[in-house]
Amino acid sequence: MTRLHLGDDIDRRSLTVSLTALVCLWAAYFGVEWAPNSFTRLAEMCWWAGTQIVFYLVVPLLVMTMVGVRPAELGWRIRGTSSHWKVYLAIFSVAVPFVVIASFSSEFQDRYPLYEIYRGQSHVWRDLSIWWPFYVLQFVAIESFFRGFLVLGLGKRIGANAVLVATIPYLMIHLVKPPVEAAASIVGGLVMGTLAWRTKSIWWGVAVHVAVATVMDLMSLGHKGFLW
């Protein structure tokens, strides 16, 4: 009887994760369309980031808390992770040269920063000081959802196979980006998902994601004449 009850609990958990993921993926994708038409581009981008934060972070954590799953079980833990920094530093070190090379392309400069910045634009640093906090929290939401909620949430039932499952929707949200970047999301999803599965934490993944995005933005800003 005990074994059957445990199996039922795990199935309910997997079902909760799966159904919540479906709703949140839909809402995070279409949420930007709910922004008022009167919004400026900056307000619209902050709205978009806000939808990512709500539906990739807030809603999944609330749902799982309601069914008795603690945030720490979904990667929201720091204790015991200090020894993992070397692996993530290696990932960052490998990624940076590719970012630097890609930054010389017009396609890259048109794409980044994600909040569009044009040569000669005024109030750039004021706008970026508003945008960047939303951008960072959006990365926390992404890592929490794909590496915490999906990988660790489903992992109790399907083990490390959850990494592959989580990588599929992770690729799909990158299909709006250039082909090479979309393909890189497959590698990133598998690598970061595997590390999250092994470390049971999302925070070093957040650090790498933010660090790489920072390099991307700074390189693009530099090429547009705002840094050098």
Q: Determine the structural domain holding residue 198 and report its residue range.
A: 2-223
- Tell whether 77 is covered by a domain: yes
Per-residue pLDDT band at 80 (split at 50, 70, 90): confident
Under DSSP, the state recorded for 66 is H
Tell me the pLDDT tens digit for each residue of 174-196: 998 888 889 999 999 999 999 99
pLDDT for the residue 43: 96
- Quick one: average pLDDT of 193-200? 95
- The pLDDT score that the predictor gives to residue 77 is 93
Residue 2 pLDDT grade (very low, low, confident, very high; cuts 50, 70, 90): very low
Provide the pLDDT for residue 150.
98
Of the two residues 87 and 119, the one the predictor is more confident about is: 87
Residue 139 lies in a domain: yes
Whether 70 has a pLDDT exceeding 60, the answer reads: yes
92: which residues sit within 8 A by CB, 6+ positions away? 208, 211, 212
Compute the half-sphere exposure of residue 148: CA atoms within 13 Å on the CB side of its CA: 28
Residue with the larger pLDDT of the pair 9 and 98: 98
The answer to whether residue 228 sits within a structural domain is: no
Tell me whether residue 42 is in a domain.
yes
Return the percentage of the chain with pLDDT > 90, whole number: 80
In a domain, 209, yes or no: yes
Q: Is residue 132 part of a domain?
A: yes
Convert the pLDDT of each residue in 9-53 to its tens digit. Answer: 558 899 999 999 999 999 999 999 999 999 999 999 999 999 999
pLDDT at 8 over 60: no
- Per-residue DSSP letter, 215: H
**CA angle, residues 30, 41, 116, in degrees to nearest 5:** 100
Q: Report how many domains make up the chain.
A: 1
- Indicate whether 172 pLDDT > 50: yes
The per-residue pLDDT for 9 is: 52
Mean pLDDT value of segment 3-13: 61
Q: Cβ(71)–Cβ(190) under 8 Å?
A: no
Q: Flag whether pLDDT at 7 surpasses 60.
A: no
In a domain, 44, yes or no: yes
Instruction: Give 105's contacts (C-beta < 8 A, 6+ positions apart).
Output: none
Task: Write down the pTM of the prediction.
Answer: 0.91
pLDDT at 4: 45
